[in-house]
Amino acid sequence: MNLLQPLHSVRVVDAVRERLRQAILVGELPPGARLSVPDLARRLGVSRSPIREAVLQLVSEGLAVEHSRRGVEVARIDLSDLLEIYALRAALEGVAARLCAESMSAADLTALRGVLDAQGAPAVSRDVARYRELDQRFHQIIVQSCGNLRLAKSAEQLAAELRLAQRLLADSAEHLRASHTEHRRIVAALIAHAPEEAESAMRDHLARVASAAQAKVSAEGHPPSGPEPPGLSHSGLPTTLSADLPTGGTP
């Protein structure tokens, strides 16, 4: 998938931001990749102005960082960042689970139970990629169903940052099984309309996941900020991206 293709949009800056955001989240622009405004403008076929604005928005979202000498790069998430993210997730999603226990719709609860059931097989077979995909959906349903739009928006931003730190997350068979068991406890509390239990179950779950990540990093000795991103050209963009993209576009 090549997300850095020419854009055709009424409001180019929004399309640019979303295209770059997705390129970061799927790893097409890996952690540490330089977000060069001239190069991105050329590859996306738009002027520099919307690129510059979109890149600054990515900085505000936490998906990119600005350095005084190196310019803007895709963010690198280290262990201390990860633990901060999980502390915030526990607070936000604990509240989300409480709210869902009070007012979650039958349709949303059915969707959540469907995801929970689907998690069983990858948890047993240790299909990490599939389990993580379903895990993201599980938490997404809860935060989107809680009825608090500001909470959901903040949780979505944290989830996006977390996707930059997949290498730090625990991935053992024991961890996946424990996570699935904890998800069952959360769903049981939602079904029972037990707000306090739902919040406690969610907080306990995310606290254990954070501890498991910390234990994995300690055992494997990851470098603080992760390895240098491979496969970058002199511009800081992945060498696999096509260079044959038309220029032009709406400023």
Query: Could you tell me the residue ranges of all domains in the chain?
Result: 1-76+226-251, 79-220
What CATH superfamily is the domain 79-220? GntR ligand-binding domain-like (1.20.120.530)
Kindly report, residue by residue over 86-114, the tens digit of the pLDDT. Answer: 999 999 999 999 999 999 999 999 999 99
C-alpha dist (Å) from residue 196 to 100, 118, 190, 242: 11, 26, 10, 52
Structural tokens at position 232: 């970058």
Alpha helices in the chain (DSSP H): 12-25, 37-44, 48-61, 79-103, 106-125, 128-145, 149-162, 173-191, 195-220
Its CATH architecture, for the domain 1-76+226-251, is Orthogonal Bundle (1.10)
Kindly report, residue by residue over 174-197, the tens digit of the pLDDT. Answer: 999 999 999 999 999 999 999 999
The strand pairing partners of 71, in sequence order, are: 67
The alpha carbons of the chain give a radius of gyration, in whole angstroms, of: 20
Of the listed ranges 19-23, 44-48, 136-140, 225-229, the one predicted with least confidence: 225-229
CATH fold match for the domains 1-76+226-251 and 79-220:
no
Is residue 167 very low, low, confident or very high in pLDDT (cuts 50, 70, 90)? confident
- Determine if residue 6 is left, alpha or beta; phi over 0 gives left, psi from -120 to 50 gives alpha, anything else beta: beta
Is residue 222 very low, low, confident or very high in pLDDT (cuts 50, 70, 90)? low
In this predicted model, which residue has the larger pLDDT, 220 or 247?
220
Residue 8 is predicted with a pLDDT of: 56
First to last CA, the chain: 25
